[in-house]
Amino acid sequence: MLKRKIFHSLKEWKNRSNHKSLIVTGQRQIGKTYVVDKMFSKEYKSYIPINFIEEPSMIGEFEGDLDVETLKLNIQARRPGVKFIEGDTLILFDEIQECPNAIASLKFWTEDGRFDVIGMGSSLGMNYMSKISYPVGKVEYLNMYSLDFEEYLWAEGLGEDVIKQLQSFFNKIEKMPKSLMDTMFGYLRKYMVIGGMPEVVNTYIETKDLHLVDEIQRRLIRDYRTDIARFADANIRVKAQQCYDSIPYQLTKDNHKFQYSKIESKATAAKFGTSIGWLNNQLLTIQVNSLKRIDYPLESFSDETNFRIYPTDIGILVGMYDESLKKALLEDASIEEKPAGLVLGTAKGALYEALAAEMLYKRGYDKLFFYKHEKSTSEVEFVITKGDELLPIEIKAGRKQANSLRNILESNAKLNRGYKMASLNIGQSDKIVSMPMFMLMFM
């Protein structure tokens, strides 16, 4: 059974007095239902799961009055023996996007307050169904993602004591044993190849068969393309697929800026921009905008016409390339050095950028930016807001010196420090903190 961080978020929701009904969304096949069925349902004396895809006839039970007493009666009539125990019942509306009235009913479950209700839905379906009447102010929301790097380490069997020691090195900016660092980079390269989709991770842990992993990833990619065709509005579905399919090529250019012209000659944002926004809203992609200058608040200096796009799961991205790239990644021990063979080529730097974007995104940094000085070559791949501090982060394959980061820090008095994420050991020189790439899991 995969250990997931979201279980703690669900526990906090359950234990908080006067909590509202909860909607949990995320990509398909990231384990939303699994978390509730295998882990959270045991917290209640009565657990009532309703899946609107597996049991579409249940949709009819929500076509009349939506008050709690009527819905209780309808459910009990369809499920003899089901018990509604006040204060100790969890009702799960799975694939809730298939039943808009079930979403509308969450308002009444919240106002009634006797039973806990969770609505699980695909981010694709939830955002697609424009006819859904969301009970504004009566529900709480929680996004779920595929496994992050720390969760992957748990799946590999890495103990909490090791992870706590790693975090101690990070917090104290203290060098770590080289052997431990090398071991962690081995895990990181495997995570890049495998990613965090639960079925993929489970398959690798059980079989160690990377070819089988590749087959599952390619099936998942086909499923996402099918979902785009199903859920995207008719006027953008082809364009959304084209944008999604172009991501590997966009990232292997020397300039990782997303260019509409690489999808279609003379294409513009007027034609494809809505499709990018749609992909972001479905939690399929992460958009990282350029900054005109590094200043607070970052959003005020964002250039939305100059951006990069990364998938929300690094394994899905790697799976979009040829399988030979996985072997090359596993054998390529250093972030900074140029690839020994031709397979990684210009993709290497982009893949580590994509990995960093995913790791930061899953740590809660849903607004990411990059900065490139307009009159020089100085560039940092990410800038984030951490508390009241602006942090530039450099992740660059091909060189070991943090020249860009140093220039940016020296020219901006508002920046107290910056991070160089590489395959170097932990250390600090003036304002630059050097960290192994995998330490982003603690950022």
Q: DSSP assignment of 85-132, as one string?
A: -TTSEEEEEETGGG-HHHHHHHHHHHHH-SSEEEEEEEHHHHHH-TT-
Domain around 42: 6-144
In a domain, 1, yes or no: no
Residue 403 has pLDDT above 60, yes or no: yes
Give the whole-number percent of the chain exceeding pLDDT 70.
96
Per residue in 189-236, pLDDT (tens digit) is 999 999 999 999 999 999 999 999 999 999 999 999 998 888 788 888
Residue 244 has pLDDT above 90, yes or no: yes
Per residue in 122-134, pLDDT (tens digit) is 765 555 444 556 6
Mean pLDDT, rounded, for 111-121: 95
Q: What is the pLDDT of residue 9?
A: 93
Residue bearing the bigger pLDDT, 60 or 252: 60
**Residue 88, domain CATH:** 3.40.50.300
Residues 166 and 28 in one domain: no
Residues 57 and 159 in one domain: no
Residue 146 has pLDDT above 70, yes or no: yes
Q: Which of 144, 172, 190 is the last residue of a domain?
A: 144
- Of 28-42, 136-150, 213-227, least confident by mean pLDDT is 28-42
Residues 300 and 410 in one domain: yes
Residue type, 214: D
Torsion region of 283: left, alpha or beta (phi above 0 gives left; psi -120 to 50 gives alpha): left
Judged by DSSP in three states, 346 sits in coil
H-type helices in 282-427, by residue range? 314-319, 324-331, 347-362, 403-411
Residue 399 has pLDDT above 60, yes or no: no
Gap between the Cα atoms of 244 and 272, Å rounded: 11
Residue 398 has pLDDT above 70, yes or no: no
Residues 302 and 195 in one domain: yes
Per-residue confidence band for 255, with pLDDT thresholds at 50, 70 and 90: confident
Q: What is the pLDDT of residue 128?
A: 46
Q: Which of 144, 177, 199 is the last residue of a domain?
A: 144
Residue 49 forms beta bridges with which residues? 92
Mean pLDDT, rounded, for 33-47: 87
Measured CA to CA in angstroms, residue 438 lies from 46, 191, 329, 358 at distances of 41, 10, 15, 12
Residue 141 has pLDDT above 80, yes or no: yes
Residues 126 and 171 in one domain: no
Residues 89 and 218 in one domain: no
Domain count, the chain: 2
- Average pLDDT value over all residues in the chain: 91
Residues 92 and 209 in one domain: no
Q: What is the pLDDT of residue 126?
A: 58
Residue bearing the bigger pLDDT, 66 or 27: 66
Q: Angle 269-281/237-252 helices, nearest 10 degrees?
A: 90
**Kind of pairing, strands 285-291 and 368-372?**
parallel
Residue 267 has pLDDT above 90, yes or no: no
Residues 173 and 33 in one domain: no
Q: Is there a contact between 441 and 365 (Cβ–Cβ < 8 Å)?
A: no
**Kind of pairing, strands 427-429 and 432-436?**
antiparallel
In a domain, 180, yes or no: yes
Q: Which of 144, 165, 198 is the last residue of a domain?
A: 144
In a domain, 291, yes or no: yes
Residues 355 and 208 in one domain: yes
Angle at 298 between CA 142 and CA 26, to 5 degrees: 20
